[in-house]
Amino acid sequence: MPTRSTLGLQRAGMTATSHSSSPSGLSSVRLWPAFAALAALWLVSLPLACLPGPVPLAAGQVFHALAAQLGLAEPPQDASLMLVVGQIRLARVCLATLCGGALAVAGVALQGVLRNPLADPFTLGISAGAACGASIAIALGGVAGRALSGLLAAMHISLPGPAALVAPAALAGALLALAGALWLGRGDGGFRRESVILAGIAVAAFLGALVALIKALNEESVTSIVFWIMGSFQGRGWDSLPLLLATFVPGLLAVALGWRALDVLTMGDEQAAQLGLNVGRARLWLLAGASCMTAGCVAVAGVIGFVGLVVPHVLRLVLGCGHGPLLAGAFFGGGVLLVWADVLARSVLDGGQELPVGVVTALLGGPFFALLVRRRT
């Protein structure tokens, strides 16, 4: 038998959904074509994004290698073709697709929870935590790292190399930053959005100072730290997928299962509580889910900004403000945006050189962010 709180939440979800979608005048008749277009663009982008690269390949060669990778065709006689397309380009495209979708979904969740259209997946200091963790791991490859390795070798203790520790260290730093922001923002048994935002700013400022200190004390690692912080998929392969999925799947489930709570939270904390929603618990789960996805993305590819800011705002113009359709559309839209931003990053320079993809997204998202700020002032 449904409980009173369950009935209240269902009723509130229906009320909030109809309220949020009515201003845009959007109905399911218009939503399905938009979803179909997004899904088709997402599917088409996967093989097409494998075409550009420093090694010139014909479209027929790329599609043949992709079909062979999926078991739909015989492997090509040239084994290097399978290596370039299947192990390098396809892996990179898949990682960019998942990271873009995760960052966009996290952006929708955070903007809904914090009721702030300028919020993005790095509002809570997650990127600063990841940068701090990665900087520590990179610095271990310098003089201090070699001294520590020599000491451990004398004690017959072997550990993974600093390069292998960068991604796990970034993930640990991001999750610790999230925990710190939530702990600082907790008050009176709940999580108030203003307190959480201020706590995230404080955590980001402190961790940013730590990164600057690490760069000052370990000058030979400055270039590696700065390049990682800019964000890039260069050198990433299928071995990065388990780490990403380990945070992406639980985070996506937490956010997707809370889409009705997001609709209710848009009505305000007091009214949401009156309708049977445990505001503090819902906010905690949604923040944790969004931040978990973001932590996995920055652990794999570094700091990539503005995807979680731009995509939700663009899709609201097409799909309305209901969080159910918006979360689903954000996964496809974010994946498409980051895939083609990565294609641009690896194609704009000659000689096999690449731009960090974070630079490309910043160039695209910076003017958009300025426009949002201008509209709110």
**H or E segment to which residue 298 belongs:** helix 279-301
Q: How far apart are CA 1 and CA 171, in angstroms?
A: 42
- CA of residue 83 relative to chain centroid, distance: 27
Q: For the residues 5-21, what does the mean pLDDT come to?
A: 46
Q: Which two tokens stand for residue 331?
A: 């996964």
Q: What 3-state DSSP class applies to 48?
A: helix
Q: For the residues 102-110, what does the mean pLDDT come to?
A: 93
Say if residues 129 and 211 touch (Cβ distance below 8 Å): no
Please say if the pLDDT value at position 371 is more than 50.
Answer: yes
pLDDT digits (tens, 9 = 90+) for 173-221: 888 888 888 888 776 656 667 787 888 889 989 998 998 888 888 777 7
- Across-strand partners of 187? 190
pLDDT digits (tens, 9 = 90+) for 239-285: 889 888 988 999 999 999 988 888 888 787 777 777 777 877 888 88
Contacts of 258 (CB under 8 A, 6+ apart): 109, 282, 285, 286, 289
What is the DSSP pairing of strand 190-191 with strand 186-187? antiparallel
Q: How far apart are CA 55 and CA 376, in angstroms?
A: 46
Pick from 34-48, 72-86, 224-238, 342-356 the range whose average pLDDT is largest. Answer: 34-48
Question: If you ran DSSP here, which 8-state letter would residue 108 be given?
Answer: H
Closest alpha carbon to 267 in 54, 50, 11: 11
- Looking up tokens 């559309």, which residue turns up? 329
- For the chain, domains (ranges, CATH) are 4-49+59-121+231-376 (1.10.3470.10)
Q: How far apart are CA 151 and CA 132, in angstroms?
A: 24
- Mean residue pLDDT across the chain: 80
- CA of residue 285 relative to chain centroid, distance: 17
What pTM value is reported for the model?
A: 0.83
- Across-strand partners of 190? 187
What is the structure's pLDDT at 153?
56
pLDDT confidence tier of residue 120, bands split at 50, 70 and 90:
confident
Q: How far is CA 366 from CA 110, 117, 309, in A?
A: 19, 15, 10
- Residue spans of beta strands (DSSP E) within the chain: 186-187, 190-191
Please say if the pLDDT value at position 127 is more than 80.
Answer: yes
For the chain, how many residues are written? 377
Say if residues 358 and 230 touch (Cβ distance below 8 Å): yes
pLDDT confidence tier of residue 376, bands split at 50, 70 and 90:
low
